[in-house]
Amino acid sequence: MNQMNQNSENNTSDKKSKRNTPKDGKPSGSKPNFRKPGNEIRGPQGPGESPTGRIMRSLLIWGAMFAGIVIVYMLMHANQKKEWAISYTQYKTLLTENKIAAATIEKSQFNRYVFKGTLKEQISMNVDNGKPTYIQHFTTELGFLDASMEKEWSDRGIYWVYKEGDSPWWGMVISILPWLALIMVYMFVMRRMQGGGGPKGIFSFGKARVRMLNESQGNRVMFTDVAGCDEAKYELQEVVEFLRDPSKFQKLGGKIPRGVLLLGPPGTGKTLLARAVSGEANVPFFSISGADFVEMFVGVGASRVRDLFEQAKKSAPCLVFIDEIDAVGRQRGAGLGGGHDEREQTLNQLLVEMDGFEQNSGIIIIAATNRPDVLDAALLRPGRFDRQVVVDRPDVKGREEILKIHMKTIPISEDVNPEIIARGTPGMSGADLANLVNEAALFAARKNKTSVSMEDFENAKDKIIMGVERKSMVISEKEKEVTAYHEVGHALAGKLLQLSDPVHKVTIIPRGRALGVTSYLPSEEMHSYSRDYLETRIVTLLAGRAAEKVVFNQLTTGAGNDLERATGLARKMVCEWGMSDAIGPVMVANKQEEVFLGREIAQKSNISEQTAQLVDNEIKAILMKASNNAEQLLKDNIELLHKVSKILLERETIDGEELDMIIRGEELPPLTIISKLEKFAKDLPRNEQSTPAAEAMAPEQESMNDQERAG
């Protein structure tokens, strides 16, 4: 069956609920103490004025400071006498007539000189656009200053002095702007350091970026909103009971697990389960991601861990959910960074906090990860995350319940049967099913339908599994013929070999990166696989390549993906599952571990060169035997190969029932739109369970179900 992984969680509808509170406002019995909406715990940002208000206030302050400087300057020059600007010719006339009593020579900008004179008495002169005006004080620009001019002033009895000129008001402003800028930067930095600049202040780096959800935010989720993981919900019932009534366990000396670790593939609903526990227990819910602890600054992660638990203690009883904890809880050791790695310091602080707060404090930690193998052993020991809850992909009944929840939000036709869809979508997670329902709704909307039909669900399923149809792709007739024989080779091997999975559909319509697809659906649920079954699967994988060789006596690149899958399956048979007589019951595969897990800095081989050569020979022998069997099978049924390929070229798609009719020699009915999903899903098993053996075979299951001829 197809195992499909999506990096999203199973989402269902949220329900709002009201909480009954005693009149005195205090919690009674075991009811948790909830805060009012205006007093909820916040992160480092905290309640306060909005950023817009802070900006406006700052602008007003700096504007007032600038206006004050201008006013002071104007007051300083308010008592100065008015000086009229005259031309140089008028100045020479006044000088010749000995009407100037005193003068001040000022050096202006650009090394120019200004003559500021005082007349012996007021006289009428044409100034200010030629209007006659009585003046006594005037100014004029000299341009330069030399000894002859100074001698003339002295000879005419003018009392004159020399001084450096004052800068204009805008010059003063320019001179003080750098100081104002420094003051502004200093005040800005200090406010940020004090946390007044919001959640990104320097001193607030150590604050946990935790988000708190409670009933006032309308995000309450119940167990009825979660489907497809009944066993996981049963495991979490004790956590709910403890949060509802802690005294029930305390009076008997029992201790609730301090940490619960949710394990499972992406999209199975781990985050939703954690929210449901909080909703059922009716307690505050703190949510934070593992990546939120680690920053580029040393010590920030450990500080945020401490702040997280401080906030949680103030709201106890409460639930703290850490999503993707593998980002901070990875194995410590000799990996890059050593013991001074910031991530390791954060993990150490988390270990101390989880095993250090008071017993029965009412704080329960729930973490989620899809990589439990990389977590540090100290994190999983009793007293920390001592309970592990597996949230696996849903079985057929769980898929049906999930589909019903998602179908509540869309109008569906009477022909839609969630049970049939669930049985035809093995291996899908809750997120995959949510995506399936959404895609079906989009198909119906494109056709302007008023409701979603079974045909839309079938089209959505084909799109998700096999990709989007590439109708605009131009394929030559010769290449189309080779593709048809390739896919029919897969299909005939699946039909003629006894241990093969039943063929579901054969198509040469390009989808995704494949020019053609042959899909299989197992007739019964399998959790372990025999050697004969695996050898049969390899034969079906290589049958497409064999068909090209038998019919056209040539090979194409279309078999590349088939060879990759067949080789991988043969290697597992020899190296991991002990299915080689020459190797025997020995596991010779190198254990694949990431360098950054800290376990080993480099990979090392644990087999000799002779054993490695023997392994290669055994893998090649399995593949050659399967290839020869596939060629012989198609040669024995060459007429059937030609017949089915010709029909496939005409119809482009053949389902399993039509293939059976062709093999029996019956005529196919005219092309009609029928629900193939309904026909083939009814033969699938109703009871499905996941076992470690099935999980180990998951990659091969997926690869064998869809035989792709990649172009």
CATH number at residue 97: 3.30.720.210
Among 332, 355, 390, which residue terminates a domain?
390
Q: What is the mean pLDDT of residues 350-371?
A: 76
Q: What is the mean pLDDT of residues 431-456?
A: 92
My answer on whether 433 and 339 are in the same domain is no
CA dist 405 → 10, 11, 67, 430, 443 (Å) = 11, 9, 65, 11, 20
Is residue 196 in some structural domain? no
pLDDT at residue 543, rounded to an integer: 94
My answer on whether 643 and 512 are in the same domain is yes
Tens-place pLDDT, residues 175-186:
777 777 888 787
Among 364, 390, 416, which residue terminates a domain?
390
My answer on whether 119 and 224 are in the same domain is no
pLDDT at residue 130, rounded to an integer: 66
Residue 353, C-beta contacts closer than 8 angstroms, at least 6 positions apart: 305, 306, 308, 309
- Highest mean pLDDT pick, 111-125, 135-149, 438-452: 438-452
Tens-place pLDDT, residues 676-709:
444 444 444 433 433 333 443 433 333 333 333 3
pLDDT at residue 34, rounded to an integer: 39
Average pLDDT of the chain, as a whole number: 76
Tens-place pLDDT, residues 498-521:
888 888 888 888 887 788 888 887
Is residue 637 in some structural domain? yes
- Highest mean pLDDT pick, 14-23, 66-75, 227-236: 227-236
Tens-place pLDDT, residues 142-152:
877 888 888 88
My answer on whether 378 and 307 are in the same domain is yes
pLDDT at residue 74, rounded to an integer: 67
My answer on whether 222 and 244 are in the same domain is yes
Tens-place pLDDT, residues 455-468:
899 889 888 877 78
User: How many CB atoms lie under 10 A from the CB of residue 172?
Assistant: 14
Host domain of residue 242: 211-390
Number of domains composing the chain? 4
Beta bridge partners of 261: 367, 388
Is residue 596 over pLDDT 50? no
pLDDT at residue 642, rounded to an integer: 93
Selected residue with higher pLDDT from 76 and 461: 461
pLDDT at residue 496, rounded to an integer: 92
User: Which sign, positive or negative, has the C-alpha torsion 261, 265, 271, 273?
Assistant: negative
Which of 81-95, 196-210, 568-582, 675-689 is predicted least confidently?
A: 675-689
Which letter does DSSP use for residue 511 in this model?
A: B
My answer on whether 412 and 445 are in the same domain is yes
For residue 430, the domain's CATH number is 1.10.8.60
Q: Are 208 and 282 in contact (CB under 8 A)?
A: no
CA distance 664 to 315: 72
Q: Of the candidates 259, 257, 270, 226, which has an alpha carbon nearest to the alpha carbon of residue 392? A: 270
Is residue 433 over pLDDT 60? yes
Is residue 126 over pLDDT 70? yes
Selected residue with higher pLDDT from 42 and 551: 551
Q: What is the mean pLDDT of residues 657-664?
A: 89
My answer on whether 312 and 453 are in the same domain is no
Is residue 160 in some structural domain? yes
Which of 47-56, 235-244, 307-316 is predicted least confidently?
A: 47-56
My answer on whether 145 and 218 are in the same domain is no
Counting Cβ atoms within 10 Å, is residue 60 exposed (0-12), middle (13-18) or buried (19+)? exposed
Among 419, 443, 466, which residue terminates a domain?
466
For residue 619, the domain's CATH number is 1.20.58.760
Percent of all residues in the chain with a pLDDT value above 90, rounded to a whole number: 17
Q: What is the mean pLDDT of residues 264-277?
A: 86
Q: What is the mean pLDDT of residues 445-454?
A: 92
pLDDT at residue 395, rounded to an integer: 84
Q: Catalytic positions, please?
A: 487
Is residue 248 in some structural domain? yes
Is residue 99 in some structural domain? yes
pLDDT at residue 178, rounded to an integer: 78
My answer on whether 431 and 521 are in the same domain is no
Q: Are 355 and 380 in contact (CB under 8 A)?
A: no
Q: What is the mean pLDDT of residues 159-186?
A: 73
pLDDT at residue 420, rounded to an integer: 82
Q: What is the mean pLDDT of residues 233-261?
A: 80
Is residue 253 in some structural domain? yes
Percent of all residues in the chain with a pLDDT value above 70, rounded to a whole number: 73
My answer on whether 407 and 319 are in the same domain is no
For residue 253, the domain's CATH number is 3.40.50.300
Tens-place pLDDT, residues 368-396:
988 888 888 888 888 888 788 888 888 88
Residue 229, C-beta contacts closer than 8 angstroms, at least 6 positions apart: 268, 269, 273, 391, 392, 394, 398
* C-alpha distance across the termini of the chain, in Å: 24
Is residue 56 in some structural domain? no
pLDDT at residue 553, rounded to an integer: 92
My answer on whether 285 and 371 are in the same domain is yes
Q: What is the mean pLDDT of residues 304-312?
A: 81
Is residue 298 in some structural domain? yes
pLDDT at residue 709, rounded to an integer: 38
My answer on whether 360 and 439 are in the same domain is no
